[in-house]
Amino acid sequence: MIKLKDIAERMNVSVGTVSKALRHSHEISEEMTDRIIRCANEMGYVANSSAISLKTNKSYNIGVVFNDKTHAGLGHDYFSIMLNSMRDELTLQGYDFTFITHMLGDRNISYLNHARYRRCDGIIVVTADFNDPEIVELVKAEIPVVTIDHIFNNRTTIQSDNEQGLVEIVKYVFSKGHRKIAFIHGEDTTVTSHRLGGFYKTCEELGIEVDQRFIKEALYHYPQKAGLMTREILALEDRPTCIIYPDDYSYMGGATEIEKHGLKIPEDISVVGYDGIFLSRILRPVLTSYKQNSVEIGKVAVQKLLAQIEHPKSFVRKPVMISGCLQKGQTVKDIN
């Protein structure tokens, strides 16, 4: 591996000069700079990030907490697309990232210590158990943190506008004449409470009386559970005309159950999903779903984090809300 010293020797200048020239310091003459850069390229010089990090205390490395022990995670379009987007934006800004885990080798290591070990300049918490003391410790630490979809005291948060999502869904199905609307939601998280908020608020505004037997809790990204809840709802003598699912995967589980009952979508019952995953546009009937803007969420999360890292003084902490859009499909029947 070629190092500064090698270039310096070849050029008969000092290491300091080479270092400065390669970083376009104005202390060095233009001509010298040119010659040094050319020489470095010829010799195949690549900087050593470890040495730079050691010296400057900056790693250009971001820690990403992506704990997908549950049924969601990387296999979920929402997150994989977001992760992709984060990666693209980080790359654009000259950063790499490292997954921060709570184990490393044979030892336990807290998320925070893992991040410290790698000297991460900042951290993005994409998915995690926010009740985990280790996560709390991480978020409270001195290192810049951005969280996704969950507000933590005094920390920057990028949120998908889940309230707005349900507002739009309910308004849409209402406009199609539906009044008896079931809502199968996910487990108890910030996301879920926002969605429930949007749901109830809009129902009230529109004068829809919510039948509590139509509100069921399932689990995100868990079709079987959604299927079960669907069955319970279909067992009611006074069925809803429309079911809103926690996500598109859950809908798929529900669809199977609906079919088992000999019902057709949307002729006999309407459905709405959430996320607008790739397949939801491919399969027939095309699913009506609320597409979260995960590309934007990932991008903004990175931008906010880097702003905080690079301009800590001028950085203003405020939560950011990213709205998605309703993808109209063929699964909501007009019953007006």
Nearer to its own copies among residue 93 and residue 190 (C-beta): 93
From the list DNA, its own copies, none, pick the one residue 4 interacts with, judged by a Cβ distance below 5 to 8 Å according to partner type: DNA
- Give the total of residues touching its own copies (CB under 8 A): 51
Stretch that binds its own copies, among 6-14, 103-111, 131-139, 229-237 (CB under 8 A): 103-111
**Binder of residue 151, out of its own copies, DNA, none (CB less than 5 to 8 A by kind):** none
Of 10, 22, 256, 315, the one binding DNA (CB under 7 A) is: 22
Within 129-148, the residues that bind its own copies by CB under 8 A are none
316 binds its own copies per the rule CB under 8 A:
no
Q: Kindly tell me which residue out of 44, 55, 312, 318 binds DNA, with binding defined by CB under 7 A.
A: 55
Amino acid at site 62: I
Our finding on whether 259 is near its own copies (CB under 8 A) is yes
Q: Which of residues 57-116 bind DNA (CB under 7 A)?
A: 57
CA neighbor of 164 nearest in space, from 198, 214, 207, 205: 198
Calpha distance 83→2 (Å, rounded): 34
Does 274 participate in binding its own copies (rule CB under 8 A)?
A: no
Distances (CA, A) of 267 to 94, 228, 263, 270, 334: 52, 21, 8, 7, 9
Choosing from 10, 13, 130, 189, the residue that interacts with DNA (CB under 7 A) is: 13
316 binds DNA (CB under 7 A): no
Q: Answer yes or no whether residue 29 interacts with its own copies by CB under 8 A.
A: no
Contact status: 29 vs DNA (CB under 7 A): yes
What proportions of the chain, in percent to the nearest 5, are helix, strand and coil?
A: 45, 15, 40
**C-beta of residue 208 within 8 angstroms of C-beta of residue 174:** yes
- What is the rounded distance in angstroms from the CA atom of residue 198 to the CA atom of residue 90? 33
Residue 248 makes CB contacts below 8 A (sequence gap 6+) with 273, 274, 275, 276, 277, 279, 280, 287, 289
Q: Which stretch binds its own copies (CB under 8 A): 27-35, 205-213, 274-282, 299-307?
A: 274-282
Which of 122, 186, 223, 266 contacts its own copies by CB under 8 A?
223
Closest separation in Å from C-beta 178 to its own copies? 25
| CA dist., res. 274 & res. 199, Å (int) | 13
Q: How far apart are CA 152 and CA 76, in angstroms?
A: 24
- Is the distance from CB of 156 to CB of 308 less than 8 angstroms? yes
Instruction: Give the residue from 173, 191, 167 showing the smallest Cα distance to 297.
Output: 191
**For its own copies, which residue of 43, 47, 235, 325 counts as binding (CB under 8 A)?**
47
Where do contacts with DNA occur on this chain (CB under 7 A)?
Answer: 1, 3-5, 12-17, 19-20, 22-23, 26-29, 31-32, 45, 47-48, 51-52, 54-57
